Every structure is written in structure tokens, then in C-alpha cells.
């Protein structure tokens, strides 16, 4: 896969970055492995809205988000073990990146699950993921001096257009219409937070840490705040077998496992490209909404799905 964003040459890295190329690393015997890992993570993430819809009626979206990322963060930290602690001890710069990334880890689930609750699963998912590539590109442009290529612009334009069609297709479901604008705003906040921790995880990885160590450090730090919040707000989830099953699935599969896949993908793919690839999530979410939840997607919605897939193909298909 060719690079989706051009960046300063390895001989003149951006301030504070390691002297290694910032573009996707397609060397080694597994070219394309990075995008495939990120697409696999996005597929698992696409199940979150459907599974969350089975939570007890009284469960708050804050509790679902805090439980998912808090417990999942502890699992990710446990898998990383000492390597995650080594990230925090590797210097002031790495610690600053980890703290900034952890801030995104805390904000993202709270904004994302509330956005889905207020604006609807489809709209909340599409807005949160649809705006993330823009924020990621801005971060790389401002902090790394990266220049976006035409291929990245074409892929993002197609995928973002598809997301816009999905929003226009509806998907508010049973949401309170008065809360939809606030839900969309929270979706934008979630997208910014997601792009932020993806960026800083990538910086730690390019600084020489393994993907498991970087993700363990970020999510471990985030769990410090999210687990106590879950303890305060998660009574409805903890009081029923169904609530425990929902939180257990969300924490282990689309959180812990998917973020390990995502971190491994970031080894070879820039954050701006990774956030475009994860636009596959709303496609999965829409399909599950139709097949499992019983939602209906009109022709505009299916057109949006097609555009998202087209954007993903632009990014992932290798050019000769």
C-alpha cells in the first residue's frame, strides 16, 4: 500500500519525533497487514451499538462507556504488563504523549455512547467515526508537518460522503428528537478524542515501543478514571445478568481485542489513514442494525455504505 500522507523525510523528522519514516511501514513480509488488522478491529467495533442496545433499560450511556473502556483498559494493561510501565518510565516526552492519549481514552467512550443514546446508534456511530479522519489529519499536519496526498483526500472524501448519506438516511430510531443536535455534537467530540489517542499511540509506537505496550499504557491510564466512574454509575448493569453480559462482551471483544488489533495496525499505518479505515465500523453497525435490531436502511443509506466501502478500497488496494 502506498502512503496516504506524505511527511517530512526521515533525515529531517518533525520536532520531537524519532528519526524513522512516519509513513506506513510496508516492509517485512506482510505488506497490507496493517490495514487488514485495522479493518478487523473496525468490524468488532461495529458490534458495539447493537450489543449496547441490549443493556437494561435503566443503564446510562456513561456507565456503558466507562465500564467498556475501564474494564477493557485494565485487561489491555494486564496483557502489556511491564512493557506498559516501561512506556511511562521512558522519559518526559513519552509520558506526556501517554497522558494526552489517555485523556482521549477517557473522553471518547463517554461522548460516543452518549451520542448513540441521544442521536441514535447509526447517526452517533457515523458522526463519531466520520469526523475522526479530519481531526487526525489536522493533528498530523500541525504537529508533524505531514502533507496529505491526493489518494488520502479521495479516500476520505468518498468515505465522509458515505457517512453523510448514512446520516441523511435517518437512523434516529427511538431517540428523543430534541437531543439529536447535542448527540451530534458529542459525536464530534468523540471523533476528536478518538483521533487524539490514535495519534499519540502512533507516536509512542514510532518512538520504539511495541503496539501492545503503547495501548496498555494509554488504556491503563484511562482506566484510572473510568473504573471509579463505572463503580458510581454502573448499578443497573451490575445488578442483572444481562447487564454483566453486555459489559463483559464490550470490554473483552470490541475493546480489549479490537484495540490490540488496532495498535498492531498502527505500526504500519499513519493515524490519519487508520481513522479512515475505521470508517468500516458504521458499515458494520448499519448492517447489524438491519439484520439484528430490525432497523431499515433506505436507498440513500445503502448508497452511503457503498461510498464508505469505495473509500476503504482506495486506501487499501495496492497500486502497482
Q: Which residues contact 199 (CB under 8 A, 6 or more apart)?
A: 101, 136, 139, 140, 143, 271
Number of continuous H segments (helices) and E segments (strands) in the chain: 15, 2
Name the residue with higher pLDDT: 166 or 192: 192
The residue with greater pLDDT, 283 or 230, is 230
pLDDT at residue 67 in the model: 93
DSSP 3: -
Residue 243, in any domain of the structure: yes
Tell me how far apart the alpha carbons of residues 257 and 212 are, in angstroms, rounded to a whole number.
Answer: 11
In angstroms, the CA 193 to CA 115 distance is 13
The answer to the question of residue 65 being in a domain is: yes
Average pLDDT, the chain: 79
Residue closest to 311 by CA, chosen among 119, 45, 183, 129: 129
| Domain assignment present for 283 | yes
pLDDT tens digit sequence for 108-132: 999 999 988 887 777 777 788 778 8
| Separation between Cα atoms, residue 72 and residue 255, nearest integer Å | 6
pLDDT at 245: 94
Examine residue 166 and state whether it is found in any structural domain, yes or no. yes
Instruction: Please name which of 140, 101, 129 lies closest in space to residue 4, comparing C-alpha atoms.
Output: 140
Burial of 91 (0-12, 13-18, 19+ CB in 10 A): exposed
Domain membership of residue 301 as a residue range: 31-316
Q: Which three cell numbers stand for residue 247?
A: 459489559
Surface-to-core class of residue 89, CB atoms within 10 Å of its CB (0-12 exposed, 13-18 middle, 19+ buried): exposed
Is 66 inside any structural domain?
A: yes
184-210: pLDDT as tens digits: 889 889 999 999 998 999 899 888 898
144 neighbors 8 (Cβ within 8 angstroms): yes
pLDDT in tens, 54-96: 889 889 999 999 999 999 899 989 988 889 989 988 889 999 9
Work out how many domains the chain is built from and give that number.
1
- Rounded CA-CA distance 288/122 in Å is 10
CB 56 within 8 Å of CB 236: yes
β-partners of residue 148 are: 5
- Is residue 19 in some structural domain? no
Q: H-type helices in 140-238, by residue range?
A: 150-168, 180-206, 211-233, 235-238
Q: What is the pLDDT of residue 177?
A: 58
Show Cβ contacts of residue 126 under 8 Å, excluding neighbours closer than 6 positions: 163, 166, 167, 171, 187, 282, 304
Task: Find how far residue 234's CA is from the centre of its chain.
Answer: 23
pLDDT for 319: 53
pLDDT, mean of residues 33-61? 89
Q: Determine, yes or no, domain membership for 189.
A: yes
Is 70 exceeded by the pLDDT of residue 143? yes
Does pLDDT of 21 surpass 70?
no
Q: Which residues, other chains included, contact 223 with Cβ-Cβ below 8 Å and sequence gap of 6+?
A: 69, 70, 71, 73, 74, 77
pTM of this prediction? 0.77
Residue in the structure block whose three cell numbers are 458522526: 127
Is 1 a member of any domain? no
Looking at the chain, the whole-number percentage of residues with pLDDT higher than 70 is: 83
Amino acid at each position: 500500500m502506498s502512503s496516504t500522507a506524505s511527511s517530512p523525510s526521515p533525515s529531517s523528522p518533525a520536532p520531537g519525533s524519532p528519526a524513522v519514516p512516519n509513513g506506513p511501514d510496508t516492509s517485512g513480509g506482510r505488506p497490507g497487514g496493517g490495514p487488514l488488522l485495522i479493518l478487523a478491529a473496525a468490524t468488532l467495533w461495529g458490534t458495539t451499538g447493537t450489543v449496547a442496545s441490549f443493556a437494561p433499560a435503566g443503564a446510562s450511556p456513561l456507565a456503558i462507556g466507562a465500564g467498556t473502556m475501564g474494564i477493557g483498559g485494565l485487561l489491555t494493561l494486564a496483557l502489556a504488563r511491564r512493557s506498559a510501565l516501561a512506556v511511562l518510565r521512558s522519559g518526559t516526552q513519552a509520558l506526556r504523549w501517554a497522558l494526552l492519549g489517555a485523556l482521549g481514552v477517557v473522553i471518547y467512550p463517554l461522548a460516543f455512547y452518549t451520542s448513540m443514546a441521544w442521536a441514535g446508534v447509526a447517526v452517533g456511530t457515523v458522526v463519531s467515526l466520520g469526523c475522526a479522519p479530519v481531526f487526525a489529519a489536522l493533528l498530523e499536519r500541525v504537529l508533524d508537518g505531514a502533507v496529505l496526498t491526493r489518494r488520502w483526500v479521495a479516500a476520505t472524501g468518498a468515505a465522509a460522503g458515505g457517512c453523510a448519506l448514512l446520516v441523511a438516511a435517518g437512523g434516529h430510531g427511538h431517540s428523543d428528537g430534541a437531543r439529536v443536535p447535542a448527540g451530534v455534537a458529542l459525536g464530534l467530540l468523540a471523533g476528536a478524542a478518538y483521533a487524539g489517542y490514535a495519534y499519540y499511540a502512533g507516536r509512542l509506537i514510532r518512538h520504539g515501543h511495541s503496539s501492545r505496550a503503547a495501548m496498555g499504557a494509554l488504556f491503563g491510564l484511562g482506566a484510572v478514571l473510568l473504573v471509579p466512574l463505572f463503580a458510581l454509575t454502573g448499578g443497573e448493569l451490575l445488578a442483572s445478568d444481562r447487564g454483566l453480559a453486555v459489559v463483559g462482551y464490550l470490554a473483552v471483544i470490541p475493546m480489549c481485542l479490537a484495540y490490540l488489533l488496532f495498535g498492531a495496525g498502527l505500526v504500519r499505518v499513519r493515524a490519519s489513514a487508520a481513522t479512515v479505515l475505521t470508517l468500516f465500523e458504521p458499515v458494520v453497525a448499519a448492517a447489524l442494525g438491519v439484520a439484528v435490531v430490525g432497523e431499515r436502511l433506505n436507498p440513500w443509506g445503502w448508497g452511503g455504505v457503498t461510498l464508505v466501502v469505495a473509500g476503504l478500497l482506495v486506501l487499501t488496494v495496492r497500486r502497482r
